[in-house]
């Protein structure tokens, strides 16, 4: 009698483990797909692998929402880092000495005003940009950045502002200015990392920013492949086989 070993035929997947601060992060393709993918698309194996390597290489914990994988339909996946992750990286650098940020508005008289924070009068003022300053203890002058609203504002296919930029213009452009100033101030820590707000053509889905509990990895959770029955190897049941 020929018996198939289901355990031997069980699929396996790669598991990546790395340390981020005091936390041990465990990632696998099934964990990424089931817990860490946002949007309505289906991520490819290549996109999953890139996300895992990006998390490990940059020391980012996706369970703390420091990095997001976003996928819409058949479009390529997008990998974005949270503003909080930028600030955490900067604060971990002993030379970080604080930051300021705000918006640039145009009032009814056409005057351009640089304002700290994100307050503006919607009826009489228009947000036209954002600014930020980042201070380092080992530099005489702060890193100053000014960014244009039109350069980064996310728009729909008809040219209208998408929901986030239409309802929160000051918040969005202020974030862009701050993360750019942080990246210029700490290139070794933040090089090649970008936030969602810097990718204005992408509509970001609502994502709960609260940390999630890391699931326990179990190889047995992977679905078994479906095999067609091998009729030539069907077991023959008789009284001896039950002894």
pLDDT digits (tens, 9 = 90+) for 184-235: 999 999 988 999 888 766 656 556 667 788 887 665 454 444 434 443 333 3
Tens-digit pLDDT profile for residues 115-126: 999 999 998 999
- pLDDT category of residue 173 using cuts at 50, 70 and 90: very high
d(CA 38, CA 34): 10
| 220 in any annotated domain | no
Work out the percent of the chain whose per-residue pLDDT is above 90: 63
Are 100 and 164 part of one and the same domain? yes
Predicted model pTM = 0.76
Report the pLDDT averaged over residues 156-178: 93
How many domains does the chain divide into? 2
Report the pLDDT averaged over residues 138-154: 96
d(CA 14, CA 118): 45
| 7 in any annotated domain | no
| 217 in any annotated domain | no
d(CA 12, CA 35): 19
| 184 in any annotated domain | yes
């Amino acid at each position: 009698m020929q018996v198939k070993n289901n355990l031997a035929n069980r699929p396996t997947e790669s598991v990546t483990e790395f340390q981020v601060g005091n936390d041990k992060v465990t990632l696998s393709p099934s964990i990424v797909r089931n817990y860490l993918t946002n949007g309505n698309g289906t991520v490819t194996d290549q996109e999953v692998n890139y996300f895992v390597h990006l998390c490990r290489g940059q020391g980012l914990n996706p369970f703390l929402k420091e990095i997001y994988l976003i996928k819409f339909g058949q479009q390529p996946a997008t990998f974005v880092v949270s503003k909080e992750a930028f600030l955490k990286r900067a604060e971990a650098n002993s030379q970080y000495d604080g930051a300021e940020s705000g918006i640039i508005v145009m009032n009814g008289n056409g005057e351009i005003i640089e304002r700290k924070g994100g307050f503006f009068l919607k009826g009489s003022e228009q947000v036209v940009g954002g600014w930020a300053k980042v201070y380092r203890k080992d530099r005489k002058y702060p890193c100053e950045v000014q960014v244009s609203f039109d350069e980064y504002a996310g728009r729909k296919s008809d040219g209208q502002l998408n929901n986030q930029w239409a309802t929160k213009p000051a918040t969005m452009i202020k974030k862009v200015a701050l993360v750019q100033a942080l990246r210029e101030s700490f290139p070794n820590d933040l090089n090649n990392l970008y936030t969602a707000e810097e990718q204005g053509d992408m509509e970001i889905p609502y994502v709960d920013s609260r940390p999630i509990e890391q699931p326990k990895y179990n190889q047995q959770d992977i679905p078994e492949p479906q095999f067609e029955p091998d009729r030539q190897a069907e077991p023959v049941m008789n009284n001896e086989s039950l002894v």
